[in-house]
Amino acid sequence: MRSPVVTDALLVGNNLAVLVAAAELGEAGRDVVLVTDGRPAGGHFRGRTVSGTTFDVGMVVLERSPGSGPAPDPAGYRPERRYDWTRFGTLVDDWLDAHAGLRCSPTPEALVEGRRRPDHLLADRLDVLAELDVPPPAPLSRNDPAHAAAKTTGAAYDTLTYAEAARLNHGPQLHGRLVEPFADKVLGPLAGELLARYHRAAWLPLYWPETLAAACAGEAAGLPEHRFWTTEGGAVAEVVAALESRVARLPNVHVSAAAVESLAAGPAGWQVRTADGTVVSHARPVLGLGHDRVQHLLGLPVTARVPGAAVVVVCCLVRGAAMTAPSPSLAVLDPALATYRITDQDLMAGRDPEWHRVVVEAGSRLPGEDLGPRLVSELCELLGVDPVTEGEGLRDVRVLATMTSANGIAVPTAAALAADEDARAALAEACPEALPTGVLAGVGVSSLSDQVVQGLAVAAQLR
């Protein structure tokens, strides 16, 4: 048996936060061991490279901080506070600028009742409401516990579902026409169980009724367009690639892709043993794994996983000249179509290569359902591509990959939150010294911005 290697920092997992921490600690001169547990570093934000072409898995965009001035010490990050990463927004901006050239993306679009309009789901383009013959929501007192002003901290929002809160704040007709069709396609049967506080987990809005009433009347709603950013190359995965290159240049950072066999207390702290026989010890391991994986490694009962929403993602190359109705990002509310979003990664970055990287997303409600051909057909319809065949495929569309996940979107329902809380409590009791990141840190704190701050916070604590 090999003697344990005692290091200045032990990072276990493959999410973005541990990769950020590895780079920061390594550049601070610390000896670092990062064990990715047999998975590629960067997690979801790594994207997928197929035949030499890098795709983001679905629509992945960046946000910039609206604030200015110095950010507080990242060690003060508190994942239990909703959107706490925004306090450190300038740090995230600086970090992103160091890893990729960024550009502001065009306004996303939404297909509503057969017509494209500026997106009201993500981009807050509520000016489109004045064009629609839809009644505004009924007034709702700011003292009402269900008012959207209370969605971040109000006690009622601990249990209020999105469906309940949205109908009260949006009004049944506006919500039924302009939001609910998208929610149903993304979440399927879980659309009625998503907790309102976590509405952005499914890219859904929750507006104040006063804001919507003003927009419906054609008045200034006081809500500017929410802008999004991507890399100059059109794939947020480039941020992870730049970070990996940064880590690879550090001789004091050792990255092991070996699977972890055990995580247990040892004489020199917590010991991680890998499949290649390496044993590494540290008093405060940083964990960037899923709940079930951590429980398995610690020998704890594995919490039954609460089902999420199914998702199908098709990665295509589409000939740019063949698209007669191109769109940088199109949310599809038409219930007759399975597709709920199409993203053209190149148009998002202002690029126009011969072949565009286009990603189609849909929810799959039937086990074993093969939606791929249908989604490609809908892509042609929505982007105005003539579905002319050539050989065994289409002349102007090349399908490079189709990915299906039965639980691709973690949906914060009451049952899911309870299971996660039990898992966090079990981890805190079994390994109180651990520094959790990603899903282990809390619900709704796995965004790219959150994980950048988590990585910076870990580095601040271990330097």
Total tally of structural domains belonging to the chain: 3
108 is a domain residue: no
186 and 197 in a single domain? The answer is: yes
Q: Residue 67's pLDDT band (boundaries 50, 70, 90)? A: low
Residue 3's pLDDT is what? 56
Could you give the 3-state DSSP secondary structure of residue 249? coil
CB 326 within 8 A of CB 344: yes
Residue 201 or residue 267, greater confidence: 201
327 and 295 in a single domain? The answer is: no
Q: Residue 82's pLDDT band (boundaries 50, 70, 90)? A: confident
267 and 138 in a single domain? The answer is: no
CB 246 within 8 A of CB 226: no
17 and 88 in a single domain? The answer is: yes
pTM metric for this prediction: 0.95
Residue 144's pLDDT is what? 97
244 and 364 in a single domain? The answer is: no
CA distance 213 to 97: 38
CA distance 452 to 459: 11
36 is a domain residue: yes
Sign of CA pseudo-dihedral 266, 267, 272, 274: negative
Joined together, the tokens standing for residue 262 give: 């055990």
Residue 68's pLDDT is what? 65
403 is a domain residue: yes
pLDDT in tens, 137-148: 999 999 999 999
120 is a domain residue: no
Joined together, the tokens standing for residue 154 give: 């109000």
Residue 118's pLDDT is what? 96
293 is a domain residue: yes
Give 384's contacts (C-beta < 8 A, 6+ positions apart).
Answer: 323, 324, 325, 326
426 and 292 in a single domain? The answer is: yes
Average pLDDT over all residues of the chain: 94
pLDDT in tens, 319-361: 999 999 999 999 999 999 999 999 999 999 999 999 999 999 9
- The DSSP call for residue 235 is -
Residue 60 or residue 71, greater confidence: 60
The whole-number average pLDDT for the span 50-61 is: 95
294 and 425 in a single domain? The answer is: yes
352 is a domain residue: yes
The whole-number average pLDDT for the span 8-12 is: 97
395 and 313 in a single domain? The answer is: yes
Domain interval for residue 205: 126-216
300 and 317 in a single domain? The answer is: no
In degrees and rounded to multiples of 5, residue 375 shows phi and psi of -65, -35
Say if residue 133's pLDDT is above 90: no
Q: Taking the chain, what is the end-to-end CA distance rounded to the nearest angstrom?
A: 30
